[in-house]
Amino acid sequence: MNKQLPDLHSLIQNIRTGQCSALEALNQSIEAATSDACRHVFMDTLFETARSEIYELSDLCHPSKPLAGLAVSVKDLFDIQGQVTKAGSIVLKNAPPATSDATAVTRLRQAGACLIGRTNMSEFAFSGVGVNPHYGTPANAVLTDAPRIPGGSSSGAAISVATGAAHIGLGTDTGGSIRIPAALNGLVGFKSTARLVPKAGALPLSTTLDTVCAITRSVRDAILAHEILSGLTVGKTISTIQGAQLAYTETLFMDSADAYIAETFDRTLKLLRDAGAQLVKIELPELKELTQFAEMGNFSAAESFTWHQHLLREHGQQYDPRVALRMQRGAQMSASDYLGLINARSDWMARMHLALHSFDALISPTVPILPPAIAEVAPGADCDDAFFKINALLLRNPSVINMLDGCAISIPCHALGAPPCGMMIWHTAMHDERILNIALEIERLLNPL
């Protein structure tokens, strides 16, 4: 397992008490970013720009600069003024540079972040695996017995945080693209209710499901990142997990789970019970209906095809064939089918709200499997079957919350030194504050000081 690194809050405290300087912390991040562990992580680096920004930030200890000059990475899906947003593809490499920062980037800069670089990703964010045939695939930062997948699509974001190259990895989550790599690398990934963070300046995959959010090393860091990105304040609503009404289900979420994942999740359930949480096992048959949605069509396929259709006509051979295949499926959806999918989703969401409203949160494994070797899913037709099988397994659990328009956080629940296992704490839309507070208390239970 990778060495324990201090979280953002710890480093901010060290800077403000004079134990280290912001420049020293930034140089440590740059050292990590140039190490072998970050191979294929960065599309572009901004080291010297970041160093110059340290000197330009007038008062790193001021409350208006809560990030105190620390390094933040930006998924290659976001506009940064003067740079080309490639979205992990060669299709856009000659596109004109962005004329302004994405809103999320602006908010991070205003909070005192130093941008260390643009991170690699699944091409156009269309994969939960994290493989990129154009720019290479970052290796998992935790399991290093063999090069293993990082998870996607925010692959570089996760590895930048796991290695210490960045303290926040800005990314997006359309079907799990923040939570999957967080879970596979022992990190925290929070997907807020989508409407809370502006998407302006982020290249879309699905305008219905996309969420702008971040990967961090702790829940308290996730809260800070969310406050900056959303412009909201997360209040303290609970001080103990005792008495919390937590539901879990084996329907869908535990299907095809690795024995290790199932055992680790069961152990976590026991710890929660022993701490006084009120755990309720529910059936939630509505989850079985998601297969019907797949038969009706796919928001990501239909909406991405709408955005990409002219590029596919002119540059289709330059796309990752796996990405192009999924986008082309969107061409088959008629307007009436698309409206039918919207209506079916709305009805399903209403019934899910009724089933879940009495619980403080739902808990489940974030993903049901450990990260396989990159070689198993490497680019090439001979690995396509394995890739699509693994991609479907990785996306299955977290994509439930995107379809629900909900909020969710993945936190590590494995024992120190054990392989990574993420537990997802989730609910319907606009329960973000509650989810974050519950996650904070569960994190303290799992990792006592």
Q: How many CB atoms lie within 10 A of CB 238?
A: 14
* DSSP reduced 3-state for 191: strand
Specify whether the CB–CB gap between 210 and 199 falls below 8 A.
yes
Instruction: Provide the residue type at 371 as one letter.
Output: P
In which residue are the tokens 């935790």 written? Answer: 142
Nearest by Cα to 30 from 108, 105, 116: 116
Question: Catalytic site residues?
Answer: 75, 153, 177
Q: CA-to-CA distance for 124 and 297, rounded, in angstroms?
A: 19
Q: Is the peptide bond before 153 cis (omega within 30 degrees of 0)?
A: yes
Kindly list the distances between the CA atom of residue 186 and the CA atoms of 32, 47, 116, 411, 414, in Å, as whole numbers in the listed order: 17, 26, 22, 8, 8
Q: Which residues pair with 361 in a beta bridge?
A: 246
Q: CA 177, 178, 184, 185 torsion: positive or negative?
A: positive
